[in-house]
Amino acid sequence: MTESRAVGTKGMPREEREAQLVVAGTEEFGRAGYAGASMVEIARRVGVTKPLLYQYFGSKDGLYLACLHRAGDRLTEGVATTMAAGGEPERMPLKVLSAIFTTFDHDRYAWRLLRDETVPATGEIAAAAADYRRRLAAFALLGATQLMTARGLADPVDIEAIAQVWTGVVDSLISWWIDRPDEDAVAMTARCARIMEGLFGW
Footprint on this chain of DNA (rule: CB under 7 A): 4, 6-14, 17, 37-40, 47-52, 54-55, 58-61
Does 38 help bind its own copies (rule: CB under 8 A)? no
Does 123 help bind its own copies (rule: CB under 8 A)? no
* Residues 112 and 30: beta-carbon distance below 8 Å: yes
Q: Among its own copies, DNA, none, what does residue 162 contact (CB within 5–8 Å per kind)?
A: its own copies
* Residues 172 and 113: beta-carbon distance below 8 Å: no
Which listed range, 41-49, 101-109, 122-130, 191-199, lies at the site for its own copies (CB under 8 A)? 191-199
Q: Among DNA, its own copies, none, what does residue 4 contact (CB within 5–8 Å per kind)?
A: DNA
Q: Among its own copies, DNA, none, what does residue 81 contact (CB within 5–8 Å per kind)?
A: none
CA–CA dist 169, 164 (Å, integer): 9
DSSP H helices, the chain, are: 14-36, 39-46, 50-57, 60-85, 92-103, 110-113, 124-149, 156-178, 185-200
Q: Among its own copies, DNA, none, what does residue 155 contact (CB within 5–8 Å per kind)?
A: its own copies
Q: How far is the CB of 71 from DNA (least distance, A)?
A: 19
Residue 34's Cβ-count burial label (10 Å; 0-12, 13-18, 19+) is buried
Q: Among DNA, its own copies, none, what does residue 122 contact (CB within 5–8 Å per kind)?
A: none
* Nearest CA-CA partner of 162 in 77, 89, 73: 89
CA–CA dist 178, 161 (Å, integer): 26
Q: Considering only residues 118, 126, 131, 186, which one is a binding residue for its own copies as defined by CB under 8 A?
A: 118
* Residues 170 and 98: beta-carbon distance below 8 Å: no
Does 73 help bind its own copies (rule: CB under 8 A)? no
Give the binding site for its own copies (CB under 8 A).
32-33, 35-36, 117-118, 147-148, 151-153, 155, 157-158, 160-162, 164-165, 167-169, 171-173, 175-176, 191, 194-195, 198-200
